Structure formats: structure tokens, C-alpha cells
Amino acid sequence: MTRPWMAWLVLAAIWLPAPRVAAQDQPYAPNVEPASDDWRAALAAMSIPEGHEVSLWAAEPMLANPVCLRVGDDGAVYVGETFRHHAGVTDIREHWGWLDDDLAARTVADRLAYMQAHTGEQYSDYAGEHDRLRLLRDSDGDGQADRSSVFADGFDQHATGIGAGVLPFGGSVYYTCIPDLWLLTDRDGDDVADRRRPLSSGYGVHTGLLGHDLHGLRMGPDGRLYFSMGDRGLHVETERGTIDHAHTGAVLRCEPDGSRLELFHTGLRNPQDLLFDDLGELFTGDNNSDGDDLARWVHCIPGGDSGWRFSYQWIEEPVSRGPWNAERLWEPRHARQAAYHLPPIANIANGPSGVAFNPGTGLGPDLARHMFLTDFLGDVRGSGIHTFVLEPQGAGWRMARQRRFLWDVLVTDVEFGPDGGLYLTDWVSGWNTTGKGRVWVLRDAGAADRELMQQTARLLGEGMSVRDVDELAELLGHADQRVRQGAHFELARRGEDGLDELTDAARSAENLHARLAGIWGLWIAGRRVPDALQPLLGLARDADPEVRAQALRVLGDAAWMPARSAVLAGLSDPAPRARLYAALACGRLGLPEALPALLKLAREAGSSDPTLRHGVVQGLLGCADGAVLMQHADDPSPHVRMAVALTLRAIRSPLLAGLLARLERSDDPEDAWVALEAARAIHDLPAQTALPTLAAVLDPASPLRARFLADEALPTAALLRRALAANLTLGMAHHARRVAELAASAEVPAELRVEALELLAGWREPGSRDLVTGEWRPIAPRPAPFLPALVTRLIRGELADGSLDAAPQSVRLALLELLDAVEDGQVAQVEPRAADATAGQAAATAQDVPGSLRLALLTAWLQDQSAGAELRSACLQRIAKAGAPNFDALLTYALADLEGELRATALGLLRQRDPAQAAAFLPTILAVGEISERRSAYRILSAPDVDPALVRAHLDPELLRLAAGLVSPELRLDLVRAAERVGRHEFLAARHAVAAERAPELLPWLDSLYGGDIERGRKLFERTTLSCQRCHARDASSGFRVGPELSELASRRTRLEMLRAVVDPNASLAPGYQTANLFLFDGSVLSGRVLSEDAELLTLLDSDGAVHSVPLADVEQRSAGLSAMPDELAATLSRGNMRDLLAYLASL
């Protein structure tokens, strides 16, 4: 008897009428380009794998700006089109003034509120343009689409994102478009949705980065809907409570009707698509952060955390992207890695986008079990599709047989059609919308399984509901994954008859696929009728290790208590995957009796199998509370102690404080790593009540501090920066003293000492972004009456190792900044906190740092010939500001010093004190002075109150020398800016006219070629606003990027060529990055990369690797590909910034 009792088959019963997203008086008519033959050149330029062929299936105007696609079982192609890209959906990098508000946002409503506050009347600009879902059909079967309709549009509100995920299933279509997961239905069969309903809302808490959307829709083997959210975060109200996950990206799952929504895997940056392999395992490609990290292939498992946090994107110092780079969280497993996160399987691609798993028919046996990952880099060159397989490695996986598959196409998504073809969407060019778009199909040119392909297409097209249970049972072992899944879905709804077939297949089918399909069908049925899980108890003892693993997986996911014995036995299974799922099951079931076995598994798994260790932690979550776990904090095995720390982290336990205190006293070297994990948990979560224990790690007497400082193998900064942050958060006098003790300690790395001094300088107003993670954690302004006395002791050498006189220049400069902060008094009006008003703190309070002590320090460091010029100049400036009685003598001393930078500083100060005397130095400086002195002279000669006679006497001759080409290139920009400030434009006019005639596009920047600061240029290069690292690697080990690799750039390019590449990236593309489409007089077309060209001959490398030498006389028409580098980049840089950036590039 057939009983439609599964929730996902009664969607019609729960429909509620819903309005259109936005009512439209007129049909939406965005820019879509007309049809053209451009696709022919694009096809000719593709690198197509041998034995395969690619054909055009659809192109503009049938579609435009394609983001994602799925192919229905009937062969219909659904394409998500975007017209809101930069036209309603923006990027925080275009609105830096929003960043603090964006970090603070916790709901979509928060985002909209601050957007409206910042934009005012322009707020309406963020509504109006649509994203939409297009439906394409090949109705006559000729291999090309001939029908195109807008299936759904009107996604155009202020909160609306980019529609980035689509999935046809069960007669309806799922569509993800921030802030909603939609279910769309076409009831009358006209290829237009006439009913729509949001299944859940609240996605896209942050503005974040463009493209970090809601996407990746897949139906899992368990009959649940899986999808992914980028790191713009989510705050979703459900029938079971609120899912508040604003700080990172995630994979979620729910029932097909949207109920029982839950987080599945977190810590992701932008997982744009998902796939399930033939074992039902879930994987995604996750993007890099354009910060010298690499993209990743990730195994997603219940409770997994891949380590990324939204706030990491905005950290630039002391290490770009914070812990993500500093602790190498993006790398595959290595010994120094954090244990709380699951490392990726491999680093692959640079712009991972759509993914697909070979379902088993269409591409031949050589590509069986292969996964396909699209790589979108904003440029045809360097974009395409990777393919690879995964092989078991413990309870996890390793990548094998990885290679480029289809290349030189700007593909956004990829999906197998029921006909066996590999369908892919082509963005066409660049990063921005063009009004163009294509769908290509790749096929096996010599496919030997055409009969099987035709059968698969027929089975999927007809559907499974028309088949009897006997046929469905046979299809559980079909060669195609989609047919098997459709069969087990259908059998799961066929009542007792279906359960019988599923049970028989799970127990005794001849091939593994059929057995797994049977198990998964019982998984679906078991959520409605728990007794359907009964057969799995025996399968947990099956001879096949994968059958055992899958049985334990299902029993655990169902939290079916009769399975407790089978689950406990599974913890000692010889197969790692079976042990993994048994451990996960313990957590879902909550089995206290599993504790000894789980601890034993922790010992055995060690640190070599992070996936299995994760399973242990998830198991412990359901088996023991914090008090029980702490009974094992002294276990002889460091792996058990690590498991305890990780589990306490997972439950946010205040007992982390007690664990860290125990580890502090341990002599076991391995406990340093466990202690670091506890410290990470206390700070990063944070565990507020445990912060005092973490803060105490900074005590000079702390054994843990001593161990980390003494052992170079330990990541010292990872521990001590978190301890610094804890002391800053707590904020009392003894916390400040700990920070000062660290700053005074010569054994501490200089960068940490600098950071400690900077924290003291900002102690009264700590700010709102966390020191380590960059998360929004505001600390209110507070008094710090103890600071002057503390700084006085620092200067006197009464802390730690004594005087800072021998400290590195960076540390001493930071101390000067601290002195300034104390002298300024900052927020003296803040009322003392009750906790600060103690007798001990009152006694520690002093007046300002004694002026004599301050002056003595500044004078000593000024006269320290071994100190750097920057430090000595800073001291002189502060002596001047203080009005020291002996300043004249010190100024005379500095003017005669050997350091040109110090003399330059002294000259500027002399001008403030005695302009006439300063003017007397100008002739000598302009004649023989160092660069820094001459720059100082130019500033004096262009000051607002400068004597015009001085300008005529000294600046005008310099400008004549500039016109004659006699001024050093390093000084030209400084001199030009000086002339502009005093209005000497007539001296510049002729020079500008010549430059404008020769290179008008470079005119504003020609004086920026030399004289920049390399370190400032490095910071510009790494700045998120410029995104240089998005496309350019600085060394060959960073993997392929869309732009040229920059190591040893100065040996290959002049500075003028570097400037031209920044200002006009299309003017002269680097060798190997120029592409051309040649239309010859004989009617043929050649496309490829230009290897060389002269007045008569062009040499081209085509996609097959063939080299063509083409006489230019044979070329009727030629078109060139454009650079992916934004041509507006130079407009965002000042002339000084450009000079610094070029200095850095020239240093590579």
C-alpha cells in the first residue's frame, strides 16, 4: 500500500499564499546584450580535454550575467541571473566608513538601519534592480536551447542579495537570495512561478564582500536540503529557536519544507557550492581571502569548524588576516596548527565557485568518482574547471589525480545534465556584469555508454513516482547516482512495501551503491517511523566497513536510543570511518557509558587524524559535562587532555580556567599545546569568567610564559597576544602592570613588546575591535590613574629586565607614543569604576611622568648614535614640543649630526623657531644635502607663510633645474608639490605639456616613479581596499593567480612599465597574459595567447598547445582580451601612495 507520509512530499499541504517579492507595473527590462558571434572566438580559445567536445547550448539574449545553474531531471536548465551586482548589492570595500557598523551588526535589520543612516536619500539606490531566475529549454532536442522564460523575478529590495543558488526538486524550485531561502512553484505549467514562499529568512547580516552569498543548494542522501551561507552571517528565527551565527560562513540543512533548520558545518568564508559524493559525504570549495592564503577543498561534517571568521578579513596588522595567516589555519594538517578546527583536505584553485560530482554516466570510466571544481578569476585566462578524486586517509580524505580539465573559460557554475553532458555557465569577461552570458555543454566525444546515457535521461525524465517497487528496488543499484537517489527517495515514501525493498537492498544487494541507497532510504523513513531503523542494528556489524560506517551514521543522526549497544561497539571498529560515525553517534545519543571508549579513541587517534579527533569531541559533548571532563584533565595521554580542552571549548565552559591553571603547572612539553588550545578557547569565544586565568599567563613568574618564550617551536604570539587582550579587557592596575612587564622584557619578541606598549597607550580608550580576532567587542572608556606611575617605572628600568635603552628602535618608538598618551591625559573626565577605587590603586596613582625624567630619556636617546634616525628625530620633536630649556643646544647638535634624516627634522624645527636662521641653511642643503634634507627644504619653501623672496631665491632655481632634468628622480614629486602649494604653476606647464604629449594617461603619476617608502608600499599592496593580492602572488609558491607573479619583478620591468600596468592595465599586458582572436581572410579563426609579435608576424599559442605563426597580412580582423585588473585602481591612489607602491613593487 502506498502512503504519502514523508514531510517532503506534502509540501502542497503547507503552502500559504504569498505576495510577489515586489509588485511590478511594468515588466523588468534590464540591459541584456543582443545575439552575436562572439561565442565562436571564446570556443576557439578554450583548452578542451582530449577526447571531449564543447558546444554552445545558450547565449545572450536568452540569458545574461549567470551566477549559478542546475539542470532539472527533465533537462530544463535553471540559471540565476544577477542585475543587482554593484547595482543594489554593494561591497564594504566601497564604503569603509560603514565597517564598524558592519562588524557590529547582528541582524539583517541592523544592516539596513546603518545603511539608511549612512546613505540618506541615496538609500533608494539599493532597491530597484532585480536578481531573477531564468528557465531555459531545448524543446526540439537539437542540442541548443530554443525557449527562454523568466521563471521568477522581483528580488529587488534593499536587503536583497545576489541570487546565487537554485535547485529544482519535487515539482518546485528552491532559490537562495539573501535574505531568504525561497520555494517557488509553477502550478499552471507556463514556465513562470506563480507561487513563492520564504522557508527561512535572516541571511546576510553583514554587507561584507560582494559575492559572499546564500548558495550551494543540494538535496542530501538523507532527504534533507543542504545549502551554504558566506561569511556575511545569519540570524534566523525558527520554530525551535534562533540560529545566531553572524561571525562566519556555514553549511546548513533543513527538511524540504524548511523545518528543523540547523547548522551543519561552520568556519567557512565563502563556500559557493556543495556536492555529495557516492558515499554521501559532503564537500565544498572555499575561497581564499586575497591575503596570501590559498583556497581550500573542505570536507563538511556535523559540528565541523574550518576556522575562518568574518572579522579576520579586516585585520592588516601585525599579520594580515590575523590568526588565519599567523596560525596558518588555511593549510592542510600540520603539527603547529590549532586543534579546534578541521584543516582542509588540500589547497586548490583561486576562485572556487561551482562544483559537481560525476554521477556515473556521461564522461566515461576514466572520470569515475571525479569531482569538478570551477575556478573563477575574473579573467578567461586562468579560469576553468579542475578535476580530481579523493582517497581515504584515516577518517578523512586526501586529494589525488588532480589536474586542469577544461580551461580558459570564465565559468561560474557546473552541473551534470540527465543526458550525461557537463553543463557550465560562462560569465564571459571581467568581474562586473556585461549583459552577456552563455551555457556550454561538454561531452565525451567517443562515449561508449550512450545506451546507458539514454536510459538515465529517460528514467530521470519520467520520474520515479510512475514505477512500482520492484523496478525501484532494481534502480537502487543503477550506475547513475541521481537514479539511485531518486529510487531510494521514492521507496522511502512507499510505506511498508518500500521499507521491505530498502531493507533487502541494505542487507543483501550485490553492489555497494545499492546497499548504501537502501540504508539512506531507511534514514529518511526513520525520521517519521523510528522502527524503520531496526535493520541497521545488524548492519552495524556487517562485513563491509563502509556499510558499518553508514549504518552507524544513520543511527547516530536519528539519535535512536535502541542503537546504543551498536554504537558503543562501533567505537572499537577497525575501520576509521566507522569509528568516526560511532563517535558522532555518541554525541547525538548522549551515552555516559561511552566515555572510557571515547577517551581510548582519543589516545589512538592522536593528532594525526583531525577528523577522527573531531568525532571524539562531538561524542564527548553528549557523554560528559564539564565536571566529569575535568576528572580526566590529568590523564597520562596528552591527546586525552587535548580532547578535554576541545570539548570544554565546545560547551563554552568556565572550567577552561581550571584546565589552563593545571596546564600552567605541568612539566609535560605536550601540555604547552593543550594550554594554547585552552587559551584560544578562553579568548576567542570568549569565556568571560576564565579571562583572569588567561591574563595571568602574562605574569613574569608564569611557567607557561617562560616555556613559550624559550621554545622556538611554539607559536609564542598565539598565546601571548591572547593574554595581552585578556589583560586589556579586564583593565585594572595589576593587568596594566603585567602588560608593562612584558614590554620591558628583553626576551620577548620586539613586535609583542611594541604591541604591549600600544595597549598601554590606549588603555583609557581601548576601542571596539578585539586585539586578536578583530571581532566587535567594545570596551567602554575608563580611567587609568595608575598609568603615569607605571610609565615612570618603565623609564626608570624598575620593571622586568630594566632600562629600555638597549631595546630595538620599534620598542623605543612605541614607548614615546605611550609617553605622549599619558601626557595628553586622554579621557580624564571618565568617572572611576568602583572596582578601581581601592586603597592599593590610590597609592599607585601619581602625577604625570616627571618632566625631568622624560627630558632625560629623550635627550639620552637623541644623543645615542647607535639609535636609528627615526627614533632620534622623534625624540628631538618631543623635546621641542616640551619647550626644554636646553633645546637650542640640542637643536645645534642635531643640525650637525651625521644622519641626514635627523638634520632634516632639525631644520624643520629651526624654521619654526627662527625662520631667518633656517633660511641660511637652504643654499647648502639644496646644493649638497641628502634627500631627506632637501625634502625638508622644499617644505620650508612652500609653507603658507613663506617669504616670497625665499621662493624666488631658492625654489625657482630648483624648478628650473627640474625642467632641465637635473633634479634627482627621488625628489621630483616633492618639488612639484612644493611648487603647486605656492602657485608656481608656470614653471611646471612646459614640462607637463611635453609629458602630456608623450603619455597623457600617465601624466599625474610620472613624478611618482622614484623616492617612495618600501614599507608603506607593502602595506598598500596588502590593503584590502586595493586587493592586489587577489590576483598577484609575490612568490612562485603561492599558486596560480589571474595576474602575473611578481617575484623578481624589478629584473623584468622598468618602473615606468610598472606604472603603466597600474594606470592602464590593458595598454601592455605581460607576456603570456595577452590574448587575441584572429579572423583570417580565408574564413578561419585562431584564438590563443600572443607569444610574440613584430611588424609582419604574430606568433600565437592556441588552447591545444599548437604554435601558429600568422602573417599579419592574412588577418582580416583582430580582437583582444582585456585585463582583469580594474582600470580605475590608479584613481584611488594619491601621488604619494603611488610612489610608495612602485617602490615596493621595485623591491620584489
The pLDDT value recorded for residue 566 is: 98
Question: What b/e string do you get for 161-178 counting C-beta neighbours within 10 Å, with b at 16 or more?
Answer: bbbbbbbbbbebbbbbbb
In 3D, which of 282, 277, 264, 300 has the Cα closest to residue 557? 264
Question: Do 214 and 229 form a contact (C-beta atoms < 8 A)?
Answer: yes
Instruction: Tell me: pLDDT of 637 over 90.
Output: yes
Starting at the edge strand found earlier in the chain, the sheet holding 214-219 runs 214-219, 225-229, 249-254, 262-268, 304-305
The three grid cell numbers given for residue 292, joined into one nine-digit string? 596570501
Q: Taking the mean position of all CA atoms in its chain, how far away is CA 107?
A: 21
pLDDT in tens, 1002-1043: 888 899 999 999 989 988 888 766 566 666 666 665 555 555
**Pair (887, 1030) in one structural domain:** no
Q: For the stretch 507-529, what's the b/e string if a residue is b when 16 or more beta carbons lie within 10 angstroms of its beta carbon?
A: bebeeebbbbbbbbbbbbbbbeb
What local confidence, expressed as pLDDT, does residue 877 receive? 97
Within-domain flag for 111: yes
Whether residues 745 and 889 share a domain: the answer is no
At residue 271's C-alpha, the angle toward residues 278 and 343, to 5°, is 80
Write the single-letter amino acid at 215.
H
Contact 74, 60 (CB under 8 A): no
**Quick one: what percent of the chain has pLDDT higher than 90?**
81
Tell me the mean pLDDT in the region 756-774.
97
* Beta strand spans in 138-233 (E): 147-155, 163-169, 172-177, 180-185, 195-201, 214-219, 225-229
* Average pLDDT of the residues in 888-904: 96
Cβ atoms of 162 and 122 within 8 Å: the answer is: no
DSSP-based three-state secondary structure for 1107: strand
Separation CA 211–CA 286 (nearest Å): 13
Pick the range with the lowest mean pLDDT from 466-475, 898-907, 1031-1040.
1031-1040
Residue 320 and residue 179 share a domain: yes
> Is the distance from CB of 192 to CB of 108 less than 8 angstroms?
no
% residues pLDDT > 70 (the chain): 92
Q: Is the model more confident about 544 or about 1047?
A: 544
Task: Specify the pLDDT at position 851.
Answer: 85
CA distance 894 to 90: 52
pLDDT for 16 equals 34
Q: Which of 63, 34, 28, 22 is nearest to 149 (CA)?
A: 63
- Could you tell me which of 437, 435, 431 has the C-alpha nearest to residue 93? 431
C-alpha cell at 271: 563556500
User: In this structure, is residue 412 part of a structural domain?
Assistant: yes
Which residues touch 986 (CB under 8 Å, ≥6 apart)?
none
CA distances from 876 to 791, 794, 854, 895, 897 (A): 20, 20, 12, 11, 12
Determine the pLDDT at residue 573.
Answer: 98
**From CA 765, how far away is CA 778, in angstroms rounded?**
10
Given a cut of 80, is residue 781 above it in pLDDT? yes
97-108, pLDDT tens digit by residue?
999 999 999 999
We report the CATH number of the domain holding residue 905 as 1.25.10.10
- Is the domain of 150 the same as that of 292? yes
Q: 676-685, 844-853, 859-868, 952-961: lowest mean pLDDT where?
A: 844-853
**What are the backbone angles phi and psi of residue 111, rounded to the nearest 5°?**
-60, -50
Measured between alpha carbons, how far is 708 from 716 in angstroms, rounded to an integer?
5
State which amino acid sits at residue 644.
V
* Domain end (from 883, 913, 943): 913
**C-alpha closest to that of 1028 among 1140, 937, 1106, 943:** 1140
Give the domain extent around 842: 731-849
799 and 902 assigned to the same domain: no
pTM of the model: 0.88
The count of structural domains within the chain is 5
Are 1031 and 892 within one domain? no
Angle made by CA atoms 527, 530, 535, in degrees to the nearest 5: 115
Joined together, the cell numbers standing for residue 993 give: 605639456
* pLDDT reported for residue 1069: 62
- pLDDT at position 505 over 60: yes
Please indicate, yes or no, whether residues 1053 and 907 belong to a single structural domain of this protein: no
Give me the pLDDT at residue 17, please: 36
Are 657 and 682 in contact, with CB atoms under 8 Å apart?
A: yes
CA dist 310 and 313 (Å) reads 6
Query: Given 870, 889, 913, which residue is the final one in a domain?
Result: 913
Per-residue pLDDT, averaged over 84-95, amounts to 96
Whether residues 863 and 845 fall in one domain: no
User: Per-residue pLDDT for 827 more than 50?
Assistant: no
Any domain includes 622: no
Distance of CA 51 to the CA centre of its chain: 36
Inform me whether the pLDDT recorded for 86 exceeds 90: yes
Cβ-defined contacts of 180-184 (< 8 Å, 24+): 180/214, 181/214, 181/227, 181/258, 182/152, 183/11, 183/258, 184/133, 184/151, 184/152
How crowded is the C-beta side of 832, counted as CA atoms within 13 Å? 13
Q: Specify the 3-state DSSP secondary structure of 438.
A: strand
Looking at residue 1108, its amino acid is H
| 504 within domain boundaries | no
Pairing between β-strand 767-769 and β-strand 776-779 as defined by DSSP bridges = antiparallel
Q: Give the model's pLDDT for residue 1117.
A: 85
Decide: 196 and 18 in contact? Cβ < 8 Å.
Answer: yes
Gyration radius of the chain over CA positions: 33
Flag whether 750 is in a domain: yes
Report residue 990's pLDDT band, with 50, 70 and 90 as the boundaries. confident
Instruction: Check residue 1081 and give its pLDDT.
Output: 86
Q: Lowest-pLDDT range, 153-162, 649-658, 745-754, 1006-1015?
A: 1006-1015
Same domain for 886 and 771: no
Taking only the tens place, the pLDDT of each residue in 165-210 is 999 999 999 999 999 999 999 999 999 999 999 999 999 999 999 9
Say yes or no to pLDDT of 832 above 60.
Answer: no
Q: For residues 217 and 361, state if they share a domain.
A: yes
For residue 1080, list its beta bridge partners: 1115
268 pLDDT exceeds 70? Answer: yes
CATH of the domain at 246: 2.120.10.30
pLDDT at 838: 37
Average pLDDT over residues 852-866: 95
Q: Is 297 left (phi over 0), alpha (psi -120 to 50) or beta?
A: beta
Q: Which residues contact 482 (CB under 8 A, 6 or more apart)?
A: 73, 359, 416, 418, 456, 460
Same domain flag for 822 and 799: yes
Mean pLDDT of 578-588: 99
CA neighbor of 228 nearest in space, from 260, 206, 204 = 204
The verdict on residue 286 lying in a domain is yes
Quote the pLDDT of residue 447. Answer: 77
Return the CATH number at 1137. Answer: 1.10.760.10
Residue 35 lies in a domain: no
Q: Among 134-143, 196-205, 741-750, 1088-1097, name the one with the lowest average pLDDT.
A: 1088-1097
Q: Tell me: do 1084 and 1141 sit in the same domain.
A: no
Contact 836, 732 (CB under 8 A): yes
pLDDT at 995: 81
| DSSP letters spanning 380-437 | STT-EEEEEEEEEETTEEEEEEEEEEEESS-EEEEEE-TTS-EEEEE--SSSS--S--
Nearest-CA neighbor of 231 among 286, 272, 273, 268?
A: 268
Q: Report the DSSP beta bridge partners of residue 1089.
A: 1075, 1101
**Number of H helices and number of E strands within the chain?**
40, 34
Quote the mean pLDDT of the chain.
91
Compute the distance between CA of residue 801 and CA of residue 86 in angstroms, rounded to an integer: 55
Q: Is it the case that residue 436 has pLDDT exceeding 90?
A: yes
Cα 945 from chain centroid (whole Å): 50
1115 found inside a domain: yes
Per residue in 652-692, pLDDT tens?
999 999 999 999 999 999 999 999 999 999 999 999 999 99
